[in-house]
Amino acid sequence: MKMIQTAEAMQSEADEARRAGRRLALVPTMGALHDGHCALVRRAKKEADHVTVSIFVNPAQFGPGEDLDAYPRDLDGDLDTLETLGGVDVVFAPPAEEMYPLGAPQAWVEVEGLVDTLNGPHRPGHFRGVTTVVTKLFHLCRPHVGVFGEKDAQQFVILRRMTEELHFGVEIAGVPTQREADGLACSSRNEYLSQEERAQAPVLAEAVCAAHGLIAGTTEEQPAEAVVGQMRDALAEAPLAEPQYVAVVGARDLQPVETIAPGQDVLAAMAVFFGDTRLIDNAFVTAGSQEEAEKGER
Ligand code: PAF
C-alpha cells in the first residue's frame, strides 16, 4: 500500500496505472474509517484492479460553526484498517495546502436544484464544497469508477448528476448503507454520541424501516404526508431526538412529492439532532415493490 501526499505524485501514479491498462477505482473518504468505508473498499476491489482510498477532511464542505475542528482524525488507525482489509494500492492523504494552494478556493463546481432540498438549506455551501473536492480528487486520482455510500443519499444523487452532466467519464457506484447490529447507520459522527444518545439513536433506523414498509407496501396512491407522519411518530419514541427535517422526495430530482403512487421511486430521508450531533438516515424505495416481490414469489 503506497502512501501519497502530493497532487503531482498522485497524478503520476494514476497516469502510470492507466498506461499499464489497469482499471482504477477511487474511494473518497474523510478518514475515521468504519465498517461503512470498508464496504466501499470491498466494492472498489470488485470494480477495479487498482484501488485508491483518499483521506482528506475537506474544509470547503464545513460551514461556520460546524464540526471541522472536532471532526475525528486518526490517520494511523485508518492505515491499519486499510492494511488489514488488504487490496488497497494507494492511500492519498494530502495536506490542505496541497488541495487548496490558494487557501480559500476561487474555482468551485456547483450543481443547482438538487441542493435546494433536504440537507441543502440547513448546510448552505456544503454540497458545493463536496462537488468541488470530488472534482479535484477525480482529476488527481483519475479513476474509472468512484465509490460512494448511499447513506449520504443526497450527496450520491448530486455527484451522479455532476459526473453525468459535465461528462466526467467516471462511473459512480453506490453501496447500500452499512449498519451497526442495532440498526444505527455507520457514521464517523456516531463517535460524538453520549451513551444515552447512542442508546436512542437507532430510532432513525426504525423510522426509515417504517417508511420503507409503508412505501414498498403501496397498493394505491397515498399522501406522502402519511409516511412522513409515521416517520415522525417513530422518532418521537426517542426523547433525545430532535428532528431537523423529515421528508419524502423524488429519488432522482430530490423534490418534495405530495403523493406516492405504485411504481414511483422515492427517497425517504431525515436529519435528526442528538444534542449537538446531527445524524442522517434514509432509504431509496420503489413504491409498491413489496407487492411486486410477493408476485414474483408466487
Ligand atoms: O462522504 C464523504 O465522506 C465526503 O463528503 C467526501 C465524498 C469524501 C468528500 O469530502
Q: How large a percentage of the chain has pLDDT more than 70?
A: 97
Look at residue 153 in the predicted model and tell me its pLDDT.
98
In a domain, 180, yes or no: no
- pLDDT, tens only, 190-223: 999 999 999 999 999 999 999 999 999 999 999 9
Q: Which of 26, 27, 30, 190 to mutate to test the pocket of ligand 1 (most atoms within 8 A of CB)?
A: 30
Question: Is 201 a member of any domain?
Answer: yes
The mean pLDDT of 228-241, rounded to a whole number, is 98
Torsion angle, alpha carbons of 111, 223, 235, 239, to 10: 110
pLDDT over threshold 80, residue 294: no
50 shares its domain with 83: yes
Residues 172-176 have a mean pLDDT of 98
Residue nearest to atom 2 of ligand 1 (CA): 29
pLDDT digits (tens, 9 = 90+) for 78-123: 999 999 999 999 999 999 999 999 999 999 999 999 999 999 999 9
Instruction: Say yes or no: 53 and 196 in one domain.
Output: no
Q: Judge whether 162 and 135 are in contact, CB under 8 Å.
A: yes
Question: What would the pLDDT profile of 128-141 be if each residue is shown by its tens digit?
Answer: 999 999 999 999 99
Contact between residue 63 and residue 69 where contact means Cβ atoms under 8 Å apart: no
Q: What single string gives the DSSP state of each residue in 254-281?
A: --B-SEE-TT-EEEEEEEEEETTEEEEE
Identify the CA nearest to 147 among candidates 68, 59, 193, 87. Answer: 87
The amino acid at residue 71 is: Y
DSSP result, 171-201 = EEEEEPPPB-TTSPBP-GGGGG--HHHHHHT
**Above 80 in pLDDT, residue 292?**
no
Burial class (CB in 10 A: 0-12, 13-18, 19+), 20: exposed
Residue 66 has pLDDT above 70, yes or no: yes
User: Of 127, 152, 175, which closes a domain?
Assistant: 175
Single out the residue of 149, 152, 111 nearest to residue 128, CA to CA: 111
pLDDT, tens digit (0-9, with 9 covering 90-100), for 6-51? 999 999 999 999 999 999 999 999 999 999 999 999 999 999 999 9
Which of 37, 50, 139, 144 is labelled catalytic? 37
- Res 172 pLDDT > 90: yes
DSSP 168: -
- Nearest C-alpha to atom 7 of ligand 1 is from which residue? 28
Alpha helices in the chain (DSSP H): 7-19, 35-47, 75-85, 96-99, 126-141, 153-165, 195-200, 203-216, 224-235, 289-297
Average the pLDDT over 52-68 and give the result: 97
Residue 28 CA: which ligand 1 atom is closest? 8
Whether residue 37 lies in the annotated active site: yes
The three grid cell numbers given for residue 94, joined into one nine-digit string: 494530502
Q: Quote the mean pLDDT of the chain.
A: 96
Distance, in Å, from the CA atom of 60 to the CA atom of 160, rounded to the nearest integer, reads 20
d(CA 198, CA 134): 31
Ligand 1 atom index nearest CA of 58 = 10
Judgement on whether residues 7 and 110 belong to the same structural domain of the protein: yes
Phi-psi region for residue 21, left (φ > 0), alpha (ψ -120 to 50) or beta? left
> What CA–CA distances, in Å, run from 266 to 141, 205, 234, 259, 284?
33, 17, 19, 10, 6
Asked if 141 and 56 count as a contact pair (C-beta separation under 8 A), the reply is: no
Domain holding 209: CATH number?
3.30.1300.10
Q: Is position 249 within any domain? A: yes
**C-alpha span between 102 and 135 (Å, rounded):** 17
Q: Which domain holds residue 245?
A: 188-297
Query: Which grid cell sits at 22?
Result: 489497469
Phi, psi (rounded to 5 degrees) for 129: -65, -40
Q: Is residue 151 part of a domain?
A: yes
Grade residue 290 by pLDDT with cuts at 50, 70 and 90.
Answer: confident
- Pick the last residue of a domain from 154, 175, 196: 175
Look up residue 150 and give its three cell numbers. Answer: 448511499
Question: What pLDDT is recorded for position 85?
Answer: 97
**Residues near ligand 1 with C-beta < 6 Å?**
28-30, 58, 61, 130, 133-134, 152, 155
The total number of structural domains in the chain stands at 2
Task: State the distance between the two ends of the chain, measured CA to CA, in whole angstroms.
Answer: 49
Taking the centre of ligand 1 as the mean of its atom positions, its distance from the CA of residue 28, in whole angstroms, is: 6
Q: Report whether 260 contacts 266 (CB < 8 A).
A: yes
Q: Are residues 36 and 96 in the same domain?
A: yes
CA of 64 to the centre of ligand 1 (A): 18
pLDDT at 128: 98
Distance from residue 149's CA to the centre of ligand 1 (Å): 9
Residue where a domain stops, chosen among 140, 175, 210: 175
Question: Taking the model in full, what pTM does it have?
Answer: 0.96
